[in-house]
Amino acid sequence: MKRETRPTTRSTSSPWQQAAATRTPQRGGDETRLYGLNACLAAFARRPEALRKVYLTEARIPALKQVLAWCVKHRLGYRIVEETDLEKLTASRHHEGVCFDMLRAAPLDLADLLALQPENPAPSLLLWLDGVGNPHNLGALLRSAAHFGAGGAIVPAQSGLDLSGAAARVAEGAAEVVPLAHAPADETTRAALRAAGYKIAATVPREGKDLYEAALPARLVLVFGAESEGMSEPLIAAADLKLTIPGSGSVESLNVAASVAVILGEYWRQHAYAQSPRDRR
């Protein structure tokens, strides 16, 4: 690696201070490593104060001029490195020429997430990820969730699921848009969601209501199971609605990321798209 560049000036002002309407509190000293250009730029735009160090290739300097200026003003180190250095730092060949060390955003609890949603009875869509663990699937489904305006994702507190660098890269910036909340036991979570006016829909590979024949509730929580095992039987049994994506039958089902995209697209068609004629142009 080339020698680290150290800035010589300090500034407490920033043109990005108002980049986000709210800031997510940070857990002191708990850092994560992000990589991928869009993922890094999105994290910087939302949480510039969380940035701790930047590694980039020479080719990425033009795209990261604002980030480097921030580093200089706030006495943060950055290094110009080779592609092979980034492969070692990120343990990936898909780093896209940049890697950020940032303070990890503190996870929300369920009450925090619900406080961010429109008040009942306004439409609101949430995801509940029951056992999803593959980082690429997590990143892909967060990208779909951001595209279709989902208000957040819920994961079981005991699952240990967190946003890795690989998931953030696949999400292409969506990880900074879609809040991720850790929730308690299923019964407690279901009670809180229903108290907030939500219906809970389980996605099942067969014997559910045909997605394209179902009238999806305006306030809806979509539950998706693990990539191999699916969701738990008690959670399926407790759902208000069971949905199945129709298909040719050549395979049993879509993977979880594809299922999220299909069902969120149908929710958008029934609610947001139907109410926004300008979106049709």
pLDDT digit string (tens) for 116-169? 999 999 999 999 988 777 788 888 899 999 999 999 999 887 665 667 777 777
Residue 261 has pLDDT above 50, yes or no: yes
Distance between CA atoms of 67 and 64, rounded to whole angstroms? Answer: 5
Residue 177 has pLDDT above 90, yes or no: no
Considering the domain boundaries, does residue 259 fall inside one? yes
Task: Kindly report which listed range (7-21, 46-60, 93-107) carries the lowest average pLDDT score.
Answer: 7-21
64, 84, 105 - which closes a domain = 105
Distance between CA atoms of 128 and 191, rounded to whole angstroms? Answer: 14
Distance between CA atoms of 11 and 240, rounded to whole angstroms? Answer: 54
Tokens of 3: 């020698």
Residue 23: what pLDDT? 32
Q: What is the mean pLDDT of residues 247-252?
A: 81
Q: Is residue 239 located within the same domain as residue 125? A: yes
Q: What is the mean pLDDT of residues 45-67?
A: 94
Residue 119 DSSP SS3: coil
69, 85, 105 - which closes a domain = 105
Q: What is the mean pLDDT of residues 58-62?
A: 95
Residue 273: what pLDDT? 64
pTM score, two decimals? 0.75
Considering the domain boundaries, does residue 19 fall inside one? no
* Maximum C-alpha span of the chain: 65
> Residue 227 — pLDDT band, cuts 50, 70, 90?
low
Give the residue with greater pLDDT, 39 vs 16: 39
Q: Is residue 259 located within the same domain as residue 131? A: yes
Residue 58 has pLDDT above 60, yes or no: yes
Residue 12: what pLDDT? 31
Specify the number of domains making up the chain: 2
Q: Is residue 58 located within the same domain as residue 78? A: yes
- Per-residue burial over 27-37, b = 16 or more CB atoms within 10 Å of its CB, e = otherwise: eeeeebbbbbb
Residue 108: what pLDDT? 87
Considering the domain boundaries, does residue 114 fall inside one? yes
Residues found in the chain: 281
> Residue 1 — pLDDT band, cuts 50, 70, 90?
very low
Residue 2: what pLDDT? 43
Residue 214 DSSP SS3: coil
Q: Is residue 66 located within the same domain as residue 99? A: yes
Q: What is the mean pLDDT of residues 220-243?
A: 85
Residue 159 structural domain: 108-280
Residue holding tokens 């690696």? 1
